[in-house]
């Protein structure tokens, strides 16, 4: 365990282990020490041991800087810290903390470089080092990319261990007992005679001793919390209506705001008439904001009603007004000039396809724009005072929100305090901060009064930056019962360019998301190529749960399934034969065992497999569907996922099941379309998804021990659509190549 002594130094001096390529992105700044964000706010009697643990006379607070949007990461982060700190989850408070550059997300930058996340070659590690530096430079504290677990797995346990050892040092100093004779248990240092010194009483002493950073992490056999079913710390609140979300905050003197924002994203209104709105009961005033208008009123409903009463004309959109225009752009987008990257190029596909001649298999696939539409619409509160502003919001990237609010208000960044809230779902929605900026603009016009902006559902849907639309064209060949050639081109807008552009950033190089979930799949096909085409001119888009892989997982695995059927091979056996990764093989074998693959099924029933490795996690899903008089019924889904190690088994299974259902829900019946430059689905009655009667039985299994620790928020999504389409093919013989599948079949 000696190596863990080094980890503390690597993590907290941040960077001594990073590969020092050292050229780009301000490496010098990367090397400079990072101020502890908690020291500034410390009160007398408090001691901040590390940026993740805060102890005072009233208790122990664990700082969990990654936002919880339902994935249970407050619990998970607290577990990792508490495991080493020797304290129960019922003995701590959990606080998302203030945004700070010290919480930069290392694992996220690993996903930002165009390398297979499992590739540990020199080149890949070097690039990750540079990306780390860039991430640090930008101070990116971001919840996304299923990174909380891999990012925190060591970092948070070390934080707990450093805190524990420092408390022991403080106890040794106070009592004269040697550190080696001290134990820790249940939030206290225990002396040999059984005397317990609570961490809370040791906190002032601990502030006076040098932090102990040479620590040894516990062996898995000694874990009390990790790998055990632990009751989520938010579960009672969420089962009693007492969980507070952004939308529930109501500070003293709050004024309620609603907005009408440009649904075509084309700037200020061409004209508007707010006279009717201004005359309505409870309305204080109507204000201009960037790209629209805001109403201030004495309650949410009155603000909504008044916003609806404004008549407004908007300029034309910069993207095509109708859907046909969007598809035309994609269809014409497979050009040499648009090639963004060719991340997979094995053998000679062109020659293989010529050899196959007439036997070449062709297919074209489509996937629509989708809304994030979390159950809690966007809502936030902003209070602008003299030289200070406070923001209460469920922000996935609070540092961006902080910087943007500072810019809006003309304040220094450190004068803006972002209080991250629990989110009622997100799926990537809360990575964007347009609404927070607008709330700040409103609050700046009524200084000294807290403004709570709530987006009406229709407003939230109209101004959401959707999941990318995408199209794929594929050609392939089979021989001797095997898949031998596979050529896939994918055309889509660049999500990263669109999203980071709104943050004023230009990310150079290819956008790995254009081919993510397709160009990085662990298959060894002799002649194999995947090309990404970056298509300009489409609607602005944003990261949606699993990002590029959400469309590409469907394209890649649907076409693989088509080829396997063309070869007359077994869908499971042939995928295993082609698989080039032991973890992927195990995942496929596991899902096969779980469902009893190969068993004979009644007529009208079929099973399909979907496989995708995204965010480093190979996931295989088998879906069983049955044809009924009312349409296709999804009976059951079996899922196996390779995650290295499961931290919280119950939450793992729930998150995997939920992710697959999320994927199926959209694959079945969801789409966002534009007409006259505006979204045509204003609410849940038009943006359909899975409901209780359609929910299948779900069985989940983890494959552990074959890879690094990974996050599971996103990887279950990409295989779902492919598995469902492949199952429908197995049951009916109908091959569907366009999402949502409800365009082609009915669902029971």
Applying CB under 8 A, the residues found at the interface with another protein are 69-72, 231-232, 234-245, 247-248, 250, 256, 281, 299-301, 304, 373-377, 423-427, 454, 456-458, 650-651, 654-655, 657-662, 665, 683-685, 689-693, 695-698
Nearer to another protein, 347 or 658 (CB): 658
Rounded least distance, CB 234 to another protein, Å: 7
Q: Which two tokens stand for residue 30?
A: 């990367």
Nearer to another protein, 299 or 335 (CB): 299
In this structure, what is the dihedral angle of CA atoms 298, 302, 308, 309, given to the nearest 10 degrees? -90
Rounded least distance, CB 304 to another protein, Å: 8
Rounded least distance, CB 723 to another protein, Å: 15
Nearer to another protein, 69 or 538 (CB): 69
C-beta of residue 368 within 8 angstroms of C-beta of residue 673: yes
Nearer to another protein, 7 or 78 (CB): 78
Nearer to another protein, 324 or 683 (CB): 683
Conformation bin of residue 496: beta by default, left when phi > 0, alpha when psi is -120 to 50: alpha
Nearer to another protein, 361 or 655 (CB): 655
Nearest to 305 by CA among 496, 124, 456: 456
Nearer to another protein, 9 or 633 (CB): 633
Task: Give the whole-angstrom CA distance, residue 97 versus residue 83.
Answer: 20
Rounded least distance, CB 683 to another protein, Å: 5
Rounded to 5°, angle at Cα 724 from 700 and 739 = 130
Rounded least distance, CB 183 to another protein, Å: 32
Nearer to another protein, 51 or 70 (CB): 70
Sign of CA dihedral 400, 405, 410, 413: negative
- E strand or H helix at 255, and its extent? strand 255-261
Rounded least distance, CB 125 to another protein, Å: 35
Nearer to another protein, 248 or 364 (CB): 248
C-beta of residue 105 within 8 angstroms of C-beta of residue 141: yes
- E strand or H helix at 292, and its extent? strand 292-297
Rounded least distance, CB 739 to another protein, Å: 17
Nearest to 378 by CA among 258, 505, 198: 258
Beta carbons within 8 Å of 241's beta carbon, 6+ residues apart: none
C-beta of residue 482 within 8 angstroms of C-beta of residue 408: no
Q: Which two tokens stand for residue 464?
A: 């959401």
Q: Residue 45's Cα: distance from chain center in Å? A: 38
Rounded least distance, CB 697 to another protein, Å: 7
Rounded least distance, CB 84 to another protein, Å: 24
- E strand or H helix at 235, and its extent? helix 235-238
C-beta of residue 373 within 8 angstroms of C-beta of residue 69: no
Please report where in the chains the tokens 């961490």 appear, as a residue. Answer: 199
Nearer to another protein, 384 or 639 (CB): 639
DSSP type of residue 584: H
Task: Give the whole-angstrom CA distance, residue 474 versus residue 530.
Answer: 9
Rounded least distance, CB 306 to another protein, Å: 13
Rounded least distance, CB 695 to another protein, Å: 4
Nearer to another protein, 638 or 729 (CB): 638
Exposure string (b/e) for 567-598, b if CB count within 10 Å is 16 or more? bebbbbebbbebbebebbbbbbbbbbebbebe
Nearest to 558 by CA among 493, 608, 519, 618: 608
């Amino acid at each position: 365990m000696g190596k863990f002594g080094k980890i503390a130094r690597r993590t907290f001096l941040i960077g001594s282990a990073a590969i020092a390529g050292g050229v780009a992105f301000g490496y010098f700044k990367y090397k400079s020490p990072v101020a502890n964000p908690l020291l500034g706010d410390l009160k007398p009697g408090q001691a901040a041991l590390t940026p993740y643990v805060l102890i005072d006379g009233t208790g122990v607070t664990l700082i969990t800087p990654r936002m919880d949007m339902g994935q249970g990461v407050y619990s998970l982060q607290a577990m990792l810290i508490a495991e080493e700190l020797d304290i129960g989850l019922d003995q701590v408070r959990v606080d998302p903390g203030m945004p700070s550059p010290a919480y930069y997300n290392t694992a996220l930058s690993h996903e930002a470089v165009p390398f297979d996340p499992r590739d540990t070659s020199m080149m890949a590690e070097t690039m990750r080092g540079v990306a780390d530096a860039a991430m640090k430079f930008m101070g990116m504290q971001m919840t996304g990319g299923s990174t909380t677990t891999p990012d925190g797995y060591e970092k948070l346990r070390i934080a707990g261990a450093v805190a524990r050892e420092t408390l022991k040092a403080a106890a040794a100093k106070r009592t004269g007992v040697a550190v080696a004779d001290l134990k820790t248990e249940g939030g206290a240092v225990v002396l040999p005679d059984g005397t317990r010194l609570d961490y809370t009483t040791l906190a002032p002493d601990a502030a006076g001793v040098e932090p102990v950073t040479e620590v040894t992490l516990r062996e898995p056999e000694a874990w009390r919390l990790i790998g055990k079913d632990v009751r989520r710390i938010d579960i009672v609140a969420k089962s009693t209506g007492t969980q507070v979300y952004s939308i529930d905050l109501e500070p003293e003197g709050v004024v309620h705001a609603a907005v009408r924002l440009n649904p075509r994203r084309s700037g200020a209104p061409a004209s508007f008439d707010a006279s009717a709105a201004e005359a309505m009961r409870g309305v204080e005033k109507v204000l201009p904001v960037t790209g629209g208008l805001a109403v201030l009123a004495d309650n949410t409903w009155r603000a909504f009603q008044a916003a609806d009463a404004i008549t407004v004309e908007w300029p034309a959109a910069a993207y095509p007004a109708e859907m046909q225009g969007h598809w035309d752009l994609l269809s014409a987008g497979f050009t040499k000039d648009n090639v963004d990257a060719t991340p997979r190029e094995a053998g000679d596909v062109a020659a293989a396809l010529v050899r196959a001649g007439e036997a070449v298999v062709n297919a074209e696939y489509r996937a629509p724009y989708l809304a994030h539409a979390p159950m809690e619409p966007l809502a936030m509160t902003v209070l602008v005072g003299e030289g200070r502003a406070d923001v209460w919001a469920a922000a996935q990237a609070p540092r961006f929100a902080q910087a943007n609010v500072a810019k809006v208000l003309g304040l220094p960044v450190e004068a803006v305090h972002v209080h991250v809230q629990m989110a009622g779902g997100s799926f990537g929605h809360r990575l964007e901060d347009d609404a927070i900026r607008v709330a700040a603009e409103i609050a700046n016009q009524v200084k000294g009064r807290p403004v709570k902006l709530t987006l009406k559902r229709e407003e939230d849907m109209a101004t959401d930056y959707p999941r990318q639309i995408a199209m794929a064209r594929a050609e392939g060949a089979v021989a001797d019962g095997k898949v031998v050639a596979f050529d896939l081109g994918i055309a889509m807008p660049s999500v990263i360019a669109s999203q980071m552009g709104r943050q004023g950033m230009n990310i150079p190089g290819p956008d790995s998301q254009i081919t993510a979930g397709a160009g990085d799949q662990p298959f060894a096909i002799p002649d194999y190529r995947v090309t990404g085409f970056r298509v300009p001119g489409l609607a602005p888009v944003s990261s949606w749960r699993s990002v590029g892989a959400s469309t590409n997982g469907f394209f890649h695995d649907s076409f693989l399934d088509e080829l396997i059927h063309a070869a007359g091979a077994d869908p499971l056996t042939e995928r295993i034969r082609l698989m080039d990764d032991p973890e992927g093989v195990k995942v496929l074998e596991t899902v096969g065992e779980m469902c009893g693959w190969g068993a004979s099924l009644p007529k009208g029933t079929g099973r399909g497999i979907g496989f995708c490795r995204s965010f480093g996690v190979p996931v295989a899903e088998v879906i069983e569907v049955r044809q009924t008089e009312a349409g296709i019924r999804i009976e059951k889904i079996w899922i196996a996922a390779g995650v290295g190690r499961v931290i919280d088994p119950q939450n793992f299974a729930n998150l995997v099941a939920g992710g697959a259902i999320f994927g199926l829900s959209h694959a079945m019946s969801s789409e966002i379309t534009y007409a006259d430059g505006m979204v045509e689905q204003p609410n849940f009655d038009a943006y359909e998804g899975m409901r209780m009667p359609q929910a299948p039985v779900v069985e989940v299994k983890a494959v552990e021990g074959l890879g690094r620790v990974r996050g599971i928020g996103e990887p279950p999504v990409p295989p779902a659509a492919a598995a469902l389409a492949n199952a429908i093919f197995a049951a009916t013989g109908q091959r569907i190549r366009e999402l949502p599948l409800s365009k082609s079949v009915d669902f029971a």
